[in-house]
Structure 1
C-alpha cells in the first residue's frame, strides 16, 4: 500500500505525498492567519509521524506527536488568545529572544543526548537540533510572534539537507518550499506587526 512511486521525478511513497500536500496547505493557511491551518497541521503531523518512523528519524517522529498537541493548543490560542480575545501578530521583546535561544540550546542538548543513547538513529545531533528548533518555532507560531518565521527559515534550510541525506527527497523539496513560504510569512507578518504597533 505504501510502495515507492515516482512523483515529479522524485521517488516517494503515497503517505509521504499525502503528508507533503497537507503540510503545504498548513503553511499557506498559517500565513493567511486562518485557524483551519491547525486542523491540517494535525493531519500532516499524524501522517509524517509514520514517514519519519520508517526513516529512523525518531526525534522528528516524536516531534509530530508534540505538534499534534501543540496544534490543539495553537488552535485554541488563535481563537481565544488572551483575555478571551483572539491573538494579534506581535514581536518578541529582546529578553524573550534570549530565552528562546537558550531554550533551543537546552532542548538540543537534551534531545541529542537522548537520541544518541536510546535510539538507533544515525543523526542524533542534527535530529535533536532541528527538533528543538521546531518546538520553538511551533511555540512562537501558536503565540503569533513574527519571529516564528525566522526560526522556521533556519530550521527548514537545515532540514532540506537532512532529508536529502535520509533519502526523503519529496520531503526535502517540501522543506525548500517551506523556506520560501516562511520568507513570505515573515514579510507578511512583519507588515501586520508594524501596522498594528
Structure 2
C-alpha cells in the first residue's frame, strides 16, 4: 500500500492519500515492534496529514498549480527540522531504549517537512523525500528490515521521478517561488 501511495504522489494523484493511510497503519505496528519509536510517531503524524491531504485535495486543491517555495523558507524549514531532530533524538536517547534515536529522529523530522510540503503541492517536497529515503534505507537495514529497506530504495528512485515530474509541471506553468509580502 505504501509503495502504491508513493508512486501515486509522484504522479500527482489524489489516491495517494487513502492508500497511504492503509500503509501507515501497517508500518506503525512494524516500527513499534523493532523499537523505532520516532517512526511510530511519524506514522501517527502521517495518519493525520493523510486524512487532511485527502480532504484538501478532494476540495479541488489537487488542481492548483505545483509551486516552488522561496529559498529563505526552505532554509528556515531545514534549520527547524535539524534543531528538532537533535532535541527529539536526545529525548529518545535519554528516556527510551530507542535504536539509533538521532537518525530515527532525522527520518521523522524531515519526513514531517516533506509531508507538509506535499500537502501544499510544493516542488521541494521531493528533495526532502530524497534526504529521508537516503537516511531510512541504512537505518531499516540495520534493524534487519530488509524488505522495508528495499522498499525505501524504491521510494528514493520514485522521489527523483517525482522531482522530475513536478519540475516539469512547474516549468510548464511558469510558476515562480512565492513570497508573502505584508503591506502596512
TM over 0.5: yes
What's the secondary structure of 1:71's corresponding residue?
helix
CA distance in 2, matches of 1:196, 1:30: 19
State the 1:119 CA deviation.
Answer: 1.4
How many residues end up aligned between the 2 structures? 174
Indicate the residue corresponding to 1:127 in structure 2: 104
CA distance in 2, matches of 1:75, 1:69: 10
CA distance in 2, matches of 1:63, 1:154: 15
CA distance in 1, matches of 2:58, 2:84: 28
Unaligned residue ranges in structure 2 (runs of 5+) = 175-184
2:22 equivalent to 1:43 = yes
Indicate the residue corresponding to 1:107 in structure 2: 84
Q: CA RMSD in A?
A: 1.4
Moved over 6 A (4+): none
2:113 equivalent to 1:153 = no
Of residues 32, 49, 55, the one that matches 2:34 is: 55
Query: What does the per-residue CA deviation read over 1:67-124, in whole Å, with 9 as the maximum and x for residues that have no partner?
Result: 0001111112223367xx8432111111111121122112202210221122111211
**Aligned residue runs from structure 1 range 10-89, under 5 A:** 22-80=1-59, 86-89=63-66
CA distance in 1, matches of 2:75, 2:96: 31
Unaligned residue ranges in structure 1 (runs of 5+) = 1-21
Change in Cα spacing, 1:139 to 1:87, as seen in structure 2 (3 Å) is: same
What's the secondary structure of 1:128's corresponding residue?
helix
Greater relative contact order (Cα < 8 A, sep 6+)? 2
Of residues 118, 127, 152, the one that matches 1:141 is: 118
Indicate the residue corresponding to 2:151 in structure 1: 174
Maintained 8 Å contact 1:77/1:86 = no
